[in-house]
Amino acid sequence: MLKIKEIDVFYGPIKAIDKVSLYLDHGETVAIIGANGAGKTTLLKAISGLLKPRSGEIMFQGKNIKNLRADEIVKMGIVMVPEGRKVFPHLTVQENLDLGAYLISEKKLKARLMDLVLSTFPRLKERLKQMAGTLSGGEQQMLAMGRALMSAPRLLLLDEPSMGLSPIVTREIFGLIAKIKKENEISIILVEQNAHMALEVSQRAYVLENGRLFLEGMSKDMKNHPKIIEAYLGV
């Protein structure tokens, strides 16, 4: 579904991503783990068109999307849930969800997507008229994910969904991520510092260090890799 081949991404003169290659199959969840500054968010921004790689290729369903605008990439079905949620605080939950469907004109499809979101995140159904800025951190994460689902994505990019959340809420969010993938066959790239949870819900994983690919493999094997245990699992 997605194939990235040796991309380089820069912030000015600083190389943030160095010759990174990876792939994602249809319906798969792939985790990208690594320390702060490893290049994880930069990689998602390159896929979503917010940053342009200086070299390499990003192929989505056979088409090179490296030079497409972010809105064109969204139209193709790649949607990013940014780090820190980024909900519109002075709009209601309903208005935030409606904005997620701004590219969709068919009323029946919008209604089906709304039913999907509210059945996946029933807490949002109780708060449709509430201002998004008054929601808890976990509820704002649910809203950000629900807003993304309103655009009918084929590929969902999740950037640090557990950031700032308690362990209990984090487990709830990751349970919902697994549910979204299982029930909707949406492919997911999950960037996450909580390596344990990321490896639990993904099939494969990549480890970035200083903008370079350090390790890759099946998630179930990664959990037992000595370097992963030492660096990311707190053992």
**Model confidence at 223, in pLDDT bands (50, 70, 90)?**
confident
What's 136's DSSP letter? -
Average pLDDT over residues 205-216: 90
Selection from 145, 217, 151, 216 nearest residue 181 by Cα: 145
Rounded CA gap, 69 and 207, in Å? 27
Domain boundaries, the chain: 1-75+190-235
Q: Is the pLDDT of residue 80 over 70?
A: yes
Pick from 167, 95, 101: which is nearest to 124 by CA?
95
pLDDT value, residue 235: 45
Q: How far is the C-alpha of 206 from the C-alpha of 21, rounded, in Å?
A: 10
pLDDT value at 192 more than 90: no
CA–CA distance, 235 with 229 (Å, rounded to integer): 6
CATH superfamily of 1-75+190-235: P-loop containing nucleotide triphosphate hydrolases (3.40.50.300)
pLDDT of residue 155: 94
Q: How many residues does the chain have?
A: 235
Nearest residue to 33 via CA among 222, 176, 165:
222
Q: For position 122, what pLDDT does the model report?
A: 86
